[in-house]
Amino acid sequence: MRRPRLIDVSRLFFRVGVTVFGGGDPSIAILQREFYRRDWLSPEKFAIAFGLARLTPGTNVLAFCAATGWYILGLGGALAAVLAITIPASVLVVWLTQAYNLTAHSRLAQSIANALLAAAVGTMIGAALLLVGSQCKPGRWLKPVIISTGAFLLAFVARLTPLQVIAVAAIAGFFWVDPSAES
Amino acid sequence: MNVVVLYLLLVKATLTSFSGLASLPMVQSDFVARRHVLTDRQLNTAVAAGRIGPGPNGIYVVSIGYLVDGVPGACVGWLAMITPAFLIIPMLRFLGARAEHPRAKAVARAVLFAGAGLMLSAAVPLARDAITNPLSLGIIIASFLLIASARIDSLWVMLGAALIGVIAFQF
């Protein structure tokens, strides 16, 4: 794994904080994809951060940012990640609160927001498939495919909460150990 | 309202919820029903402002702080929003070397795969909101292809989408 500079970590979280619409899930998808592309975080640490963030009170994506920042650069990384992703978005939300009646009815603002939301959706789907694809090796594709498909069905069809889905996956992982993959 | 009381009320709401908008009932109870420092209309404005902007859904707490006490209130709301996030660090420290155990790695990998499934399930309702015309469907497909097949920085995907949004507005 590469160890980036604090400014690079801050810059990535800042960018995600001001450009990603649609809530926490698209932000996590884009961060996951960027960590993978930049070789900043292993899939195992990403998974721990992702799972524990669901168990942390408050806004899950912020706990996820604190965890990934902490893994990448320690406490400074955690602080930089949370501050960089929240401060610009908070300034914007104050401005939007002031200008709510203007922005809510602005066709230009709606057109840009719709396009950004569409891009966030495409990114989420791409990041999810990339995540599973990167873990599928010859002869070791069954576990990633079954667990990710099962999680999708549990969340989307059976309407389990993300926390319940993660708990089911964790139990499956506990009993389904693939020594060649986990060594 | 005193900023310390404002912080304590907001952090109580964020600490007792496990997702962005799950704190809303407690905020409504404390600020609208019991203390009457906000109206339901202001609460709706805060939630809407949080949802139309970038960032997590829980960012509406900043807007609540702003509506209660102006800029100092917004700062307090921001602090209440980020405070619970750092609780994850003691949990990570506790995991420490235990995370290297093969069975712990197997659990982590299973959670990773579940995360992909959860991302897809979260994308479906967002896609329903996002697909308003053939252009938005085209943006979804193009951004999917760019993210999945090229090593392009996601910033360019977002900026490209924003530019298309501006051009689409002209027609």
Same domain, residue pair B142 and B120: no
Q: How many domains does chain B have?
A: 3
* Alpha-carbon span B131 to B88, nearest angstrom: 35
Domain end marker among A94, A113, A130: A130
Write down which residue in A113, A130, A147 finishes a domain. A130
The answer to whether residue B27 sits within a structural domain is yes
- Domain assignment present for A42: yes
- List all residues of chain B from 6 to 25 with a beta carbon under 8 Å from chain A: 14-20
Whether B16 and B43 map to the same domain: the answer is yes
* Pair (A36, A111) in one structural domain: yes
Residue A34 inside a domain? The answer is yes
**Contact list, A82 vs chain B (CB under 8 Å):** 82, 85-86
pLDDT at position A114, please?
83
Do A87 and A160 share a structural domain?
no
Positions in chain B whose pLDDT score sits under 70: 18-20, 96-97, 99, 150-151
Tell me if A1 is assigned to some domain: no
Overall domain count for chain A: 2
Both B81 and B118 in one domain: the answer is no
Using the Cβ of B116 and the Cβ atoms of chain A, whether some distance falls under 8 Å is answered with yes
Tell whether B136 is covered by a domain: yes
Same domain, A58 and A109: yes
- Chain segment A7-54, per-residue pLDDT in tens: 999 999 999 988 887 778 888 888 988 898 888 998 888 888 988 888
- Length of chain A equals 183
Name all contacts of B102-105 with Cβ < 8 Å and 24+ positions apart.
B102/A177, B102/A179, B102/A182, B102/A183, B103/A174, B103/A177, B103/A182, B105/A44, B105/A182
In a domain, A51, yes or no: yes
The pLDDT value given to residue A60: 87
Integer CA distances (angstroms), A125 to A153, B115, B117, B123, B124, in order: 15, 12, 10, 7, 9
B9 & B44 share domain: yes
Residues A92 and A24 in one domain: yes
Determine, yes or no, domain membership for A76: yes
Residue A170 belongs to domain spanning: 136-183
- What percent of chain A has pLDDT above 70? 95
User: Does B135 share its domain with B122?
Assistant: no
B93: in domain: no
Q: Is residue A19 a part of any domain in this protein?
A: yes
* Rounded distance between C-alpha atoms, residue A36 and residue A33, angstroms: 5
B112 and B135 share one domain: no
**B138 domain-assigned:** yes
* Per-residue confidence (pLDDT) for residue A183, from 0 to 100: 52
Shortest distance between the Cα of A38 and any Cα of chain B, in A, equals 10
Residues B59 and B121 in one domain: no
- Asked if residue B38 is part of any domain, the answer here is yes
Identify whether residues A179 and A116 lie together within a single domain.
no
Instruction: Kindly state whether residue B154 falls inside one of the protein's structural domains.
Output: yes
Of B112, B114, B140, B108, which Cα lies nearest the Cα of A152? B114
Tell me the residues of chain A between 19 and 38 that have a Cβ less than 8 Å away from chain B.
Answer: 19-30, 32-34, 37
Assess whether A110 and A143 both reside in one domain. Answer: no
Assigned domain for B92 exists: no
Based on the domain organization, do A26 and A90 belong to the same domain?
yes
> What is the per-residue pLDDT for A102?
67
The shortest C-alpha distance from B135 to chain A (Å) reads 8
Do A51 and A122 share a domain, yes or no? yes
Give yes or no: residues B106 and B57 share one domain: no
Among A109, A121, A169, beta carbon nearest to B126: A121
Contacting residues of B for A122, CB less than 8 Å apart = 139-147, 157
Answer whether A164 touches B (CB < 8 Å): no
Window 81-100 of B, Cβ < 8 Å to A: 81-89, 91-92, 95, 99
B15 and B61 inside one domain? yes
Domain check: are A11 and A89 in the same one? Answer: yes
pLDDT at A146: 92
Domain co-membership, B152 together with B106: no
Taking CA B29 as the corner, what is the angle to CA B23 and CA B30, rounded to the nearest 5 degrees?
90
Same-domain pairing of A172 and A105: no
B131 close contact with A: CB closer than 8 A: yes
**A17–B contact, CB cutoff 8 A:** yes
Same domain, A99 and A12: yes
Owning domain of residue B56: 3-86
For chain A, residues with pLDDT lower than 70 are 101-104, 179-183
Specify the DSSP class assigned to residue B32: I
A25 chain-B contacts, CB cut-off 8 A: 118-119, 122-123, 126
> Are both B19 and B65 inside the same structural domain?
yes
CB contact under 8 A, B81 and A46: no
ipTM of model: 0.79
Q: Does residue A61 sit within a domain?
A: yes
Q: Is B118 on the interface with A (CB under 8 A)?
A: yes
User: pLDDT value at position B65?
Assistant: 95
Q: Say if CB B85 and CB A59 are below 8 A apart.
A: yes
Which residue is associated with the tokens 């990114």? Answer: A123
Looking at the structure, tell me whether residues B119 and B44 fall in a common domain.
no
Those of residues 67-126 in A touching chain B at CB distance below 8 A are 67, 70-71, 75, 78, 82-83, 85-87, 89-90, 92-94, 96-97, 100, 103-104, 107-109, 111-126
Residue A62 lies in a domain: yes
B52:A172 CB<8 A: no
Query: A140 forms bridges with which residues in the sheet?
Result: A137
